[in-house]
Amino acid sequence: MTTIEVFEPALCCSTGVCGEDVDQGLVTFSADLDWVRSQGGDIARFNLASEPLAFTQREPVTAFLKLSGSQGLPLVLVDGITAQTGRYPDRAQLAKWAGLDTPVSASAPAGITMLGLTETTSDAGACCADDAANSNCC
């Protein structure tokens, strides 16, 4: 089985999803990581602030830190080989590296109903559209 290891910069908590100013990228990555685990993928996550020994005990990680410093994190190893640096992988990459046969799609998880909303560019009929005839602006 393939092992994925993610070595992250120092975060405020184990996931970085805490505090008042939450990084949406970390929220998405945390959800993707949980999804991979739920599909049977073997993935581990290490935070520099809370698990510094994990960084010192792996030769590829210490070599990377000597070269790039913590500014180059996150570092993703797949079976001990550097697969990605400097950004978090997306769900499709994680699924591929984990060898999952489950298709990665944009569909909603089981039990969730999508509303089918779409983005429109027309503001015709909008309350405050730039229309001289529309004097009933809200």
Is residue 43 in some structural domain?
A: yes
What are the pLDDT digits (tens) for 83-127?
A: 999 999 999 999 999 999 765 554 555 555 555 555 555 555 555
Total domains in the fold of the chain = 1
Tell me, yes or no, whether 134 lies in a domain: no
Residue 19 or residue 58, greater confidence: 58
Length of the chain: 138
Q: Which domain holds residue 71?
A: 3-98
Asked if residue 44 is part of any domain, the answer here is: yes
- Asked whether residue 121 is domain-assigned, the answer is no
Q: Is the pLDDT of residue 65 over 90?
A: yes
Q: What is the pTM of this model?
A: 0.69
Q: Which CATH number fits the domain that encloses residue 23?
A: 3.40.30.10
Does any domain span residue 65?
A: yes
Query: Is residue 119 one of the residues assigned to a domain?
Result: no
- Give dist(CA 17, CA 24) in Å, integer: 8
Q: How many CB atoms lie within 10 A of CB 19?
A: 10
Nearest to 43 by CA among 75, 6, 16: 6
The yes-or-no verdict on residue 55 having pLDDT over 80 is yes
In a domain, 74, yes or no: yes
Q: Report in angstroms the alpha-carbon separations of 122 from 71, 119, 125, 129, 132.
A: 43, 9, 9, 10, 16
Which distant-in-sequence residues (6+ apart) come within 8 Å of 65 by Cβ? 55, 72
In a domain, 118, yes or no: no
